Structure 1
């Protein structure tokens, strides 16, 4: 573990911790608002809200630009949830349900050979994070029938993609301000 963490600078570890904390802080605000829309449709609120709290995983991966960043952000979130007991009663299962979306983002970026700082990277990473989190939560907790599951995954893809677009726009702003030395990274989509 120490060898894995040594590839990150102290500044990058602070970014990772901040993204994890912001993801946890956003969830209790966004989920009740999403329940207003999803409740009558029998869709878990996290499917819609997830795009906006998974956005922090995508944003962290794009800002840091190193392999394993998304997994580390998600794992830190899981540890924070277990230690504080702030959100949910999933207990030790939180390690799996919180870490999988970050792991899937890292797998996607590895397959795409990308650092997660272009519009397409962030869009697909947001979709991947939210759909994997929604699917695993359904598998472990909800066990929805097929049609509501498909509707839930479709809405998860939509909100995850939107969260990815928001993350990309934040990364783009950081690039324009030349903060964190990320100017010029990516595919030039910001110019």
Structure 2
């Protein structure tokens, strides 16, 4: 872990902490709104809302541009959630359900060889991270039958794509301010 953190400067770590905090803070609000749509469809609200809190993983990777950034943001989120007891029913499993979507973003960036701030990279990173989150929460908690699972994964892909594009728009705006 020390070797991983050695690659990041103080400013990078502050941005990582901010992205993690924003992701955790936005999650309950966005998920509650998504339940209005997903409730009648009998799919978890997080599948539709996930792209809008997974976008912070993608945005952080784009801003920092270092390998492992999204994974570290997800890990910090998991520690925050466990320490604060925000989503108490998930417990220690939060280490997986928060960290692995970030790892998915980093693996996709590595496999495609794209820069983290490219539009396509952020688009696919949003999709990948949210599909990972939807699949993990299904395996660990929901165990949906095939039809609702496919609906949840479809909603997750759409939401992740939109979240990735929103993250790209935010990154583009921040570049204009030289941040």
TM-score by length of 2: 0.98
Asked if the contact 2:65–2:115 (Cα under 8 Å) also holds between the matched residues in 1, the reply is yes
Which residue number in structure 1 is paired with residue 42 of structure 2? 42
Stretches of 4+ aligned residues off by more than 2 angstroms: none
Which residue number in structure 2 is paired with residue 7 of structure 1? 7
Deviations 1:11-31 (A, max 9, x none): 000000000000000011111
Aligned CA RMSD, in angstroms, stands at: 0.7
Q: Secondary structure at the match of 1:92?
A: helix
Higher share in helix = 2
Task: Determine if the alignment matches structure 1 residue 52 to structure 2 residue 52.
Answer: yes
Q: Distance in 1 between matches of 2:73 and 2:38?
A: 27
Deviations 1:138-165 (A, max 9, x none): 0110000001100100000000000000
Q: Distance in 2 between matches of 1:159 and 1:58?
A: 13
Map 1:70-89 → 2, pairs under 5 A = 70-89=70-89
Q: Distance in 1 between matches of 2:88 and 2:120?
A: 32
Which residue number in structure 1 is paired with residue 113 of structure 2? 113
How many pairs are equivalent?
Answer: 179
Q: Distance in 2 between matches of 1:83 and 1:2?
A: 21
- Alpha-carbon offset, residue 88 of structure 1: 4.1
Which residue number in structure 2 is paired with residue 153 of structure 1? 153
Which residue number in structure 2 is paired with residue 143 of structure 1? 143
Q: Which runs of 5+ in 1 are unaligned?
A: 180-191
Asked if the contact 1:126–1:162 (Cα under 8 Å) also holds between the matched residues in 2, the reply is yes
Q: Secondary structure at the match of 1:34?
A: helix
Which residue number in structure 1 is paired with residue 21 of structure 2? 21
Which residue number in structure 2 is paired with residue 62 of structure 1? 62
Asked if the contact 1:78–1:94 (Cα under 8 Å) also holds between the matched residues in 2, the reply is yes
Q: Distance in 1 between matches of 2:3 and 2:100?
A: 21
- Alpha-carbon offset, residue 84 of structure 1: 0.6
Q: Which runs of 5+ in 2 are unaligned?
A: none
Asked if the contact 1:28–1:87 (Cα under 8 Å) also holds between the matched residues in 2, the reply is no
